Amino acid sequence: MSERSSAADGRRSLVAVAVALTLVTVAAVVPALVGARPANEVPVTELPDADDSLSEPTGDAWERTPAKEIALASAPSGAPNANDTSIESVSVRAAYTDERLFVRLSWDDPSRDGNVSPANATPQVNSFADAAAVQLPADAGANPGIAMGSDRTPVNVWYWSGATGGQELLAGGPGTTTPIGSVGSNASYEDGRWHVVYARNRTADAENRTSFDGDEDVRVAFAVWNGNNSERAGQKAVSEWQYLALGPGPEGPPYETILWAVAGLAIAAVVVATVVGVRRT
């Protein structure tokens, strides 16, 4: 083995050690990051210039946002077959630009129901469209009942259906939803999976519409209907209340993360110094 090649070998193994150490550090820090996040938080990523991409259900910008998998269960309701729901979880991502807030829901549904595609034949009188909804307190600071709020604490519902597109609804209890406008929505169905993006200005321009311009967390809940299973109205799969992490967060400044990062780097430095020292002797 020549001098040159042994020096090259040395550099290579140093690089390998550094990579390994970085992995160790990341492995140490990331769980801490995730662990510090409460179970019902939906992270919201700031992506100032990604408006166009976020409007697309599978736009590139969505890859820069973390996904939160949220469990769904049949909503307690008086609807016939209320317990017969078929969607078990929904993957949620959220992001905002200066102007707008985007929420994307993705879920598996092997059958596509709705007349979104022009090629689709006339819908039948007994077929139902797939649908999904985002429920928010009309007053961002309020804490309404999970079942469509109440007349004193109304909720805003962003409703999308494969048949009719996006609608913004106001509700003050079950059976009271009233359309108050349309919410921007965009949907795509790929490989047995729906991706639906809702977009709305962060500032509410009317009463009874949720505003996202403060720096507080906002409660949010989700619902998905599988049209193929005749799901509609109260026959739906719903989540518990979550919150859109728009505020500083309940864990305060990320000390834990910083400490872990510092500790990780310190360990890495010691290991590198030791390795180098050992090789020199």
* Binding residue (CB under 8 A) for other proteins from 31, 175, 192, 247: 175
The residue assigned the tokens 């990579």 is 19
Report the length, in residues, of the chain: 281
* Binding residue (CB under 8 A) for other proteins from 18, 146, 233, 263: 233
116 touches other proteins (CB under 8 A): no
Residue closer to other proteins by CB (options 200, 236) is 236
Q: How far is the CB of 232 from other proteins (least distance, A)?
A: 5
Q: At 80, which amino acid appears?
A: P
**Structure tokens belonging to residue 251:** 């864990």
Q: Rounded distance, CA 37 to CA 26, Å?
A: 17
Question: Interface residues for other proteins in 64-83 (CB under 8 A)?
Answer: 78-80
Closest CA to 208 of 102, 133, 101, 136: 136
Q: How far is the CB of 231 from other proteins (least distance, A)?
A: 10
Residue closer to other proteins by CB (options 80, 141) is 80
Residue closer to other proteins by CB (options 193, 232) is 232
118 touches other proteins (CB under 8 A): no
Question: Interface residues for other proteins in 2-31 (CB under 8 A)?
Answer: none
Q: How far is the CB of 54 from other proteins (least distance, A)?
A: 29
* Binding residue (CB under 8 A) for other proteins from 144, 172, 234, 264: 234
Binding site for other proteins (CB under 8 A): 78-80, 122-126, 163-164, 174-177, 230, 232-234
